[in-house]
Structure 1
Amino acid sequence: MPSTLAFKPSHIGNRGLYFAAAILLGWGSMLAFLLRYPINWQNPLTYFFVLVQMHLYTGVFITAHDAIHGVVVPQNRRLNYWVGFVCATLFAFNNFNRLSRKHHLHHRHSATHDDPDFHDGNPAFLAWYYSFLKEYISIGQILLMAITYNILKIWLPMENLILYWMVPAVLSTFQLFFFGTYLPHRGEHQNPPHNARSQPLNHVWAFLSCYFFGYHAEHHAWPYLPWWKLPEARESVRSDELRIMS
């Protein structure tokens, strides 16, 4: 199991803050560009940009997640909190404190009845996804999104707001759930208390799918690692596994 293997992360320093700034700058710049981008349904770039913005949205949420674990700016707890707060707010007005409480419950009770991310009975994908959304989406968020949309559409094209602001956010929840919750925690597990598995070693796919959170057993074993250190942990675990097998 990953938690029993010897792995010591190198010093994080300010790199978490640089990654957070890059993701926020990328998300904000891309959104500003796309909200006035002429939509052409016959142009493949239209759909490619939706996927790019979806991935950047996921990065915004992953940054909020790392702030929950205190690893965006580990040397400055107040700044770490506010980075997480801003990222959670930008991701459909999520409440950072509420997210933090639920996520720590997820780590303490992973894939059990007390895990807010887990659906009892480990059901089919859509039922679990619906349960996941109910757990994290509130009426207040929906109202704030509706108010913001109706204000923004005074100055911005409605089609662009829907296609490049709202649709990527919805798709991002699917991405986060499928690669960061459903695949790692479904079925039976042999590594309590983490009750998580990791996808095969492939850093390109791991980044594109969900910022390396497919390496989920490593995240549960070492929750103090930021997303960009998970490949190092996965390589360490894989090397130990190969040595044990040989």
Structure 2
Amino acid sequence: MLGWLASLVGLLSLDLGQFSWLALAAALVGRTVLQTGLFIVGHDAMHGVLLTGGGKWNDRIGALALACYAALPYGACRRNHRSHHQAPASAEDPDFHADPHAGVWGWYGRFMAGYLTPWQMTRLLGGWVLLALIASAFSPTGWINVLLFCTLPLLLSSLQLFLIGTYLPHRGQRAPLSRARPDSLNLPSWLSLLACFHFGYHREHHERPDLAWFELPAEHRRRASIWSDDLAAA
């Protein structure tokens, strides 16, 4: 969260004309990673594992992270996410699209509609306008800075969370495959971290929602070892 804030202050004050496209692309990627990290903080708070035994501070920090992420209301997001865990791949799951003909973009649209509301979008757009006015006082490219380092990272982050944390793990649960459990992406830990803070280890998360995001690789390796031992025994 501190990295997200520091990069926001630093990048909004830049004069973009003084930097190469490669440097700006690297800054955009970094902001996208930090943006996704904000949601991960809020997500762990929803499961009560951000500050174990932290009580209200767990929820307060989670609410702040989601507010900074996209002006998302913490209570509504937590209710949606609990429904996702209690009845995954069902009609009660707000993150799931049962129609196999809907395609990835149809599913993404349904996924986003479950979290975006007129009031939330008003807060988000109002925040961007305020940031643009402030940034314009320090940089001649202030409005573009907001689009490049706030708007675009949020869009890319939403796609990242959807693809790695929802679509790829749960698509096998749609007809005609109709698998009982979500899949996990079999990625090495370093790539899983870069892909989406280990959200790709999705079966492990559903079966052990009490684990924080950084504990999922160890659980993934443990389960893979058990599976290998069972296969060898068979």
Q: Same fold (TM over 0.5)?
A: yes
Kept in 2: contact 1:201–1:234 (CA 8 A): no
Q: Partners in 1 of 2:82 and 2:229 — Cα distance?
A: 33
TM-superposed deviation, 1:154: 2.0
TM-superposed deviation, 1:181: 0.1
Q: Report matched runs for 1:53-68 at 5 Å.
A: 53-68=31-46
TM-superposed deviation, 1:150: 2.2
Within the candidate set 141, 155, 168, 1:183 is matched to: 168
Q: Report matched runs for 1:86-235 at 5 Å.
A: 86-122=64-100, 123-156=102-135, 157-188=142-173, 192=180, 195-235=181-221
Q: Which amino acid aligns with 1:226?
A: A
Q: Partners in 2 of 1:97 and 1:243 — Cα distance?
A: 42
Q: Which amino acid aligns with 1:217?
A: R
Q: Partners in 2 of 1:48 and 1:181 — Cα distance?
A: 26
Q: Which amino acid aligns with 2:13?
A: R
Q: TM-score, normalised by structure 2?
A: 0.91
Higher share in helix: 2
Instruction: Label 1:46 to 1:59 Cα distance change in 2 as closer, same or farther (>3 A).
Output: same
Note the alpha carbon deviations across 1:204-233, whole angstroms, 9 max, x for none: 110001100100000000000000000010
Q: Which amino acid aligns with 2:104?
A: F
TM-superposed deviation, 1:48: 1.3
Equivalent pairs, count: 221
Q: Which amino acid aligns with 1:120?
A: A
Q: Partners in 1 of 2:156 and 2:21 — Cα distance?
A: 20
Q: Partners in 2 of 1:150 and 1:115 — Cα distance?
A: 34
SS of structure 2 residue aligned to 1:187: helix
TM-superposed deviation, 1:42: 4.5
Q: Report matched runs for 1:35-74 at 5 Å.
A: 35-40=12-17, 42-74=20-52
TM-superposed deviation, 1:62: 0.6
- Superposition CA RMSD, Å: 1.4
SS of structure 1 residue aligned to 2:185: coil
- Counterpart position of 1:77: 55
Kept in 1: contact 2:32–2:157 (CA 8 A): yes
Kept in 1: contact 2:172–2:182 (CA 8 A): no
TM-superposed deviation, 1:121: 1.1
- Matched-pair identity in %: 31
Q: TM-score, normalised by structure 1?
A: 0.86
Q: Which amino acid aligns with 1:209?
A: A
> Gaps (5+ residues) in structure 1?
1-23
> Gaps (5+ residues) in structure 2?
136-141
TM-superposed deviation, 1:141: 1.4
Structure 1 stretch displaced more, 141-150 or 223-232 = 141-150
Structure 1 stretch displaced more, 35-44 or 143-152 = 35-44
- Counterpart position of 2:3: 26
Q: Partners in 2 of 1:197 and 1:63 — Cα distance?
A: 23
Kept in 1: contact 2:185–2:201 (CA 8 A): yes
Note the alpha carbon deviations across 1:124-163, whole angstroms, 9 max, x for none: 1111001111111111111112222222222211010111
Within the candidate set 203, 213, 236, 2:222 is matched to: 236
SS of structure 2 residue aligned to 1:91: helix
Q: Partners in 1 of 2:54 and 2:112 — Cα distance?
A: 32
Q: Which amino acid aligns with 1:63?
A: V
